[in-house]
Chain A
């Protein structure tokens, strides 16, 4: 390991691995990944199910299999990896302080940094479930790590709160390992994960799903003994008389993910309160010059394929910055993207028109409300339509994207604001 690096990547999940690979490919000489676990791969190592890579690689891989490809490629490109080391601090001058059992205290200087710390799960404290505080309430991802990597079963009889993909996949996994999954409860009136996971994780094993239901309280002293489930109205208020006591010894929470940005916040990177991640430009540069961000640390993706894609862009941008191919200040003439009709947020937050001279720029967004009808995803500068494409439907759980074409260069260069709308399409 060296003292100075062209690019230092924080985290070796799919975003970090892709960033390191792209940085090397773009000509960065010394690239280092710092990882707190004892092996690279991040959360993919515990996602042992298949379904990864279908979109971008056109192959159906398991999580560890998907990680393995990128670990092998990073190794072949001579990316340095510092394992078992936790980054404690990153300064705007791009000095990285890390510490670990093997390496001790390490201080490194980087010409460019890629933040790829991923995201964290929401916990019981964040959704405020009343009742006792016994053992046996865990996040679904924690349980996944125990069952798939460490080899422990956290209980025998489960209730799962949240119909996101992790919750449903854990329902199947626990059933495979001989546990009884009594129920999956979802506060929304619709499934929040993918339909295919409803089929192959719940329907296949007769695991009941109740929509518009939540946990009213947890019962038990030392260990969970039951949860009280309740139906909710459209404002999430419990409907009296619909309570049901479900005996169980474990409650798993699959209630959302939040980008992990303690380090970013500490170093003064500006964060978007809607996504929970840094404000970024089309190359994923944050508000701090030379500091880039890749993957779920920016906004939570549905598919790992798109995390890889974002990591590749961030890594290439970081290498170009490190090699002095781009300015040391963020571009001055940038155009800001704005969430318009039925759009919750847009990433990137700003676009430098010059980027369009090299190729199209992809915008990604989520809608506020589901639209089960044909829609246009469109970008406008004032009244000028810059780009649009058709979708069969738009759902909050499924990220949308829109390419700004190269021919939009002149319009984007003159524009100050690009508004993205998702509107009804008359077929």
Chain B
């Protein structure tokens, strides 16, 4: 049965309000989008919602106690807290270079977690 839900697209700062008509996980129609990323976002939200994740990990011998890190690609939303737990257990050694892999293939997702910055 067709059903229409409102989603706010988070792809860019505009934040279009999408009216998404779908049958189960299949998108039938999207309105309210101002570009073609809207329908793509709507489909992904229904089947496999993902988010960029940014947090910190402990760093030994660094100029700061924490190193900011981020996922190289949007990460499955339902497993974010599992990922955060894994990163909380991690400790890396300085120096670190920006975009250095901190956790490869996080939780088997195929997504790496990278350093956001250099840290001496």
A residues adjacent to B (C-beta < 8 A): 38-39, 41, 45, 48-51, 54-55, 60, 62-65, 67-68, 148-151, 176, 194-196, 198-200, 204, 302-303, 392
Contacts and interface: CB of A to CB of B under 8 A. Distances in A.
Contact of A176 (B55, B68, B70, B98): B55
B62 to A, nearest CB: 11
B1 interface: no
Contact of B8 (A63, A150, A198): A198
A15 B11 CA distance: 25
A60 B8 CA distance: 19
A151 B64 CA distance: 9
B77 interface: yes
Interface string B2-42: 00000011111101010000000000000000100000000
Nearest to A66: B116
Contacts, number: 80
B54 A50 contact: yes
A176 B9 CA distance: 22
A148 B13 CA distance: 23
Nearest to B12: A54
Interface string B93-120: 0000011000000000000000011100
29 contacts: A38-B63, A45-B117, A48-B54, A48-B56, A49-B52, A50-B54, A51-B13, A55-B13, A60-B52, A62-B68, A62-B70, A62-B116, A64-B98, A68-B98, A68-B116, A68-B118, A148-B66, A149-B64, A149-B66, A150-B64, A151-B66, A176-B80, A195-B10, A195-B17, A196-B9, A198-B15, A199-B15, A204-B51, A204-B77
A63 B52 CA distance: 13
Contacts of A67: 117
B92 interface: no
A65 B117 contact: yes
A48 B87 CA distance: 15
